[in-house]
Amino acid sequence: MNIMRTAMLLAFMTALFMAVGYAIGGSGGMMIAFLMAAAMNLYSYWNADKMVLRMNHAVEVDEKNAPEYYGIVRALAERAGLPMPKVYLIDNPQPNAFATGRNPQNAAVAASTGLLERLSHEEVAGVMAHELAHVQYRDTLTMTITATLAGAISMLGNFAFFFGGNRENNNPLGFVGVLVAMIVAPLAAGMVQMAISRTREYSADRRGAEICGNPLWLASALDKIARNVERIHNPDAERNPAMAPLFIINPLSGERMDNLFSTHPDTANRIAALEEMARQGMGGSGGARPAPAPRNPEPREAGPWGAPAKPAVEEKPTQPNAGPWGRNPTGPKGRWS
């Protein structure tokens, strides 16, 4: 059902893009819009993952310099029957994560240092299982195409604002067509993009719970991430808000409403669905680690990370230490080898 809904929304986005081109320049404008969309989609298909990782200053890690983190992803990928993705780390105190890549054979997952510092082993496993579910369902490609089309529609809207009034002879809808291209189409495109994101998050939550083996691990992680995101600023995401739908929790704000204008479902609704999965005994045993972290747990030793969980009020990262995820600062800003 979710796949069908996503396909319908993508078809609507494509039709909307063509309609904007027609509203601005008639059949000629529609053809130009089609060619532009094809070029942009082709470029984004091959390069979107690199762009997203670069925008977030992500650094690739492996089992030598991030043994615990890399090991979690490897075990989950094997459990899900997926090729091992590339694993990245982001130097950011806001706990969050995302997946990218055009297909499972060319996928990458990225987690922030804030996520590894504030979540337990079980919760990190739940988050990374969610991201691998996006990879398995090829959601990363879907969201890339949607973002490209939404951006192209907005670009056409800007074009209509500056040039639409001077092209009335080529514009079959006149001033109404210009208004549609300027206002209605970009707004509709943004709403469709957000709707696709919300649809895929619920599916990834469910599949992620199955991959990690315990829905409560992901439920606890979502609760922690949402509370921290409300208080910790993410400057990279603020500079590139189009990336927001890729993250497991909206990195731009502590949005609490599950409505047409939210990039993600309400976290409380997602947690409730996962808890219902647990009550029904769905998700499996979770492998070698028998018990999840409780919801809203008190600060404790964060499992194999070997350091107490950090409070949510922290706005700036502390001086980094070498940890099990392989952080080796080489300068005042801290990077990884």
Return d(Cα 259, Cα 21) in angstroms, integer.
29
Average pLDDT for the chain:
74
Of 156-165, 206-215, 312-321, give the lowest mean pLDDT range: 312-321
DSSP conformation letters of 125-192: HHHHHHHHHHHHTTHHHHHHHHHHHHHHHHHHHHHHHHHGGG-TTT-TTHHHHHHIIIIIHHHHHHHH
**pLDDT at 220 (0 to 100):** 97
Coil, strand, or helix at residue 99?
A: strand
> In this structure, what token pair is assigned to residue 8?
């319908």
- Annotation: binding site for Zn(2+): 130, 134, 201
**pLDDT at 252 (0 to 100):** 83
Note the pLDDT tens digit of each residue in 299-327. 333 434 444 444 444 444 433 333 344 44
The one-letter amino acid at 172: P
Residues designated as active site: 131
Angle 129-105-134 (CA atoms, 0-180°, nearest 5)?
30
φ/ψ (deg, to 5) at 23: -65, -30
The one-letter amino acid at 16: L
> In this structure, what token pair is assigned to residue 259?
């409505």
The one-letter amino acid at 276: E
**pLDDT at 216 (0 to 100):** 96
- Annotation: binding site: 130, 134, 201
The one-letter amino acid at 335: R
Residue 234: closest CA among 259, 207, 254: 254
Residue 143: closest CA among 195, 196, 106: 196
Return d(Cα 237, Cα 250) in angstroms, integer.
9
The answer to whether the predicted template modeling score (pTM) of the entire model surpasses 0.75 is: no
Residue 99: closest CA among 243, 211, 198: 243
Domain edges within the chain: 2-295
Angle 58-62-66 (CA atoms, 0-180°, nearest 5)?
85
Pseudo-torsion of CA 36, 41, 47, 52, nearest 10°? 100
